[in-house]
Structure 1
């Protein structure tokens, strides 16, 4: 999910339901598109107006032929050659990227 429509290509405008933020605010899911980061494509990324972080499910990385590895204190997103594309502190799951900010969550999206 992203709150930045400019990150998405092939955008399909379609109301898909709502999400509830940690502060109990509710926001609509207004559509979806594909997000490109270098050679990586994450498909069907939801656009949620007002979302301040980019949130992804681990399955979206697998679908993009990326490896997700959790070590004792770090999470890695790697390409099939083993190159680190994103790394983050495991307890917070905030991922670092040169041009995008990512956050992983293990919650199901209710639509």
Structure 2
């Protein structure tokens, strides 16, 4: 069940647009709406922002194609064009307490 964002602050709107997700040599394109929600191509991925407060960006991700989901937290740089963060699993298939740790990523706004 999706969490609802009761009030969308102006700063959340700054997340809308095209972003590139980088994790090592891996790169995915994200297209986010005014609530910071969107999709990416890998495993039918979905990206959901749950909060943006004092440049700390938090949310969830789900990959329907491989039955996995998790969370993320990132710090936006002052420019708002780059964020450095980490992601983790909250579910892999029926396993609600997976031991796989996740990883680090960088998001950059595409021109």
Shorter chain as denominator, the TM-score bin is: 0.3 to 0.5
